Chains A and B, each alone.
Chain A
Amino acid sequence: MSDELDAVFRREAGRCTATLIRVLGDVDLAEDAVAEAFAIAADHWPRKGMPPNPGGWIVTTARNRAIDRLRRESTRTDRHIAAHRLHLEDMEPDDTPELDELDAFVDVVADDQLRLMFLCCHPALAADAQVALTLRLLGGLETEEIARQFLVPEATMAQRIVRAKRKLRDNHAPYRIPRPAELPDRLHVVLAAIYLIYTEGHRATSGDALTRTDLSSEAIRLGRVLVELMPDEPEAVGLLALMLLTDARRPARTNDDGSMIRLADQDRSRWDRALIAEGHDLVRACLRRNQPGPFQIQAAIAAVHADAPTSKDTDWSQIVALYDQLYALRPNAIVAVNRAIAVAELDGPHAGLDALAALDLTLLDDYQPYHAARADLLARAGEHAAALAAYDRAIELSAIPSEQQFLRDQRAAVSA
């Protein structure tokens, strides 16, 4: 039962919280009401059985509890709603609604989750606060879990979340979907936050792999919710495709001891074909719209990799072309380094090194992937002394144990 309850919680907590924020105009009240409803469920369901529609049961119970509580503490109602902590649109209750009228507003509206996504990822918040708030309110994760995932003390994470909520409240952040003119910029912030959650889960492959994997799954869940709610946004579809195609490689990414395996060396038979098929369908669907964006292009790159039976058989010219397209939209170091790696696969390590040499070194000296890529290309070009020095720099810059181990192994292979 507790597993089932957990699953319902994961699926429904964000949706319920999103609706109750609209009803109550207050994030903390909504969180409390949802927590209370799940506590009641944990007591009732094991005795009486799971209701046919557990999500609906939670929303109704949370709504009723919240309204009961507001009735009991009617001065609080006035204070909370009149205080207008989160600015509500015309379609919502007046500043001081009659409590009976409130009932009319509590039906679950699909848009609620979308409003909450835009609220959590408000550009007035720092990226780490956006991510923390998204996981807390939409993912229903406990503060302690989020802190553990991001390797910060629980008190630090608690403060980050409290501050973010306070900033939104003090600033009268609106609880609505941005207007069409604002939408592209605002949506990009939401997509970036979800992708940050995904990469945070994807990156770490060491001892805490299990919990961090949950972070990737949560990001994919959020990506699916977003696509369901905004099916016409090709970048949202592109992000989901990118995450699915990357996640398909998860079973082949690490050795039994948790150490990293490069894309080129992965056992491709272990890639998840169902995820690849789904990712491919999404890539095709969004590319047909012909409104290319960074996530769609990255998804297309992942799709080309997924198509190749071996690294050698990869269509590297197509990958270089996609990186060129990506670089035109996002001229940054990550893209430039990945493009150089693809160039090396297409035209040999010297061509890759030339591509790296063309970049602005002052911006790349602290960028670990640059030195790791350069080390590998130098080694393949037979320039062993320079390769060793580049590996040393890359190891020095890496903060992830499994990545350091991988680089040390590569370095040892060159010096041998």
Chain B
Amino acid sequence: MAQYLLAVMHDDDYSDVDFQSPDMQRIVGQVSALNEEAQKTGVWMFGAGLAPAASATVVRSVDGQVSMTDGPYAETKEQMGGFWIIDVPDLDAALEWAGKCSAACERPIEVRPADG
């Protein structure tokens, strides 16, 4: 078995998304159903939505000195808004799940193998 990160990609800031809107309600329902399926089939290891990138803090340890800076590590337009970690036999299975995840959250998914 191999683990993969399925990252939900956003092209823009989603900090002002209204979770009560019909669109978001639909997506939340789809994602819940998907999570349930992933848990039932045993591929689910973890998954969560993330607070917007503006909430990020970058921590660095250099020569034993820990410093912190505000903001995301990279100031890019595309940000990870959530993720799953799944445990499946191979890449093709991971891609199949990524397809389901993309359909559920209505966002592109970046698939990255975990170097286990």
Contacts and interface: CB of A to CB of B under 8 A. Distances in A.
Contacts of A174: 89-92
A123 B115 CA distance: 21
A254 B42 CA distance: 61
Contacts of A69: none
A170 interface: yes
B2 A172 contact: yes
Interface residues of B, number: 10
B115 A170 contact: yes
A87 B95 contact: no
A171 B89 CA distance: 11
A229 interface: no
Interface residues of A, number: 13
Contact of A178 (B89, B92, B94, B115): B92
Contacts of A170: 113, 115
- The winner among B90, B94, B111 for most chain A CB atoms within 10 A is B90
A182 interface: yes
B95 A124 contact: yes
Contacts of B89: 87, 172, 174
Interface string A156-190: 00000000000010111110001000100000000
A172 B91 CA distance: 6
Contacts of B115: 170
Contact of B113 (A122, A123, A171, A182): A171
Nearest to A174: B90
Contacts of A178: 92
Interface of A: 84, 87, 122-124, 168, 170-174, 178, 182
Shortest 7 CB-CB distances between A and B: which pairs? A87-B90, A174-B90, A172-B2, A171-B91, A173-B91, A171-B113, A172-B90
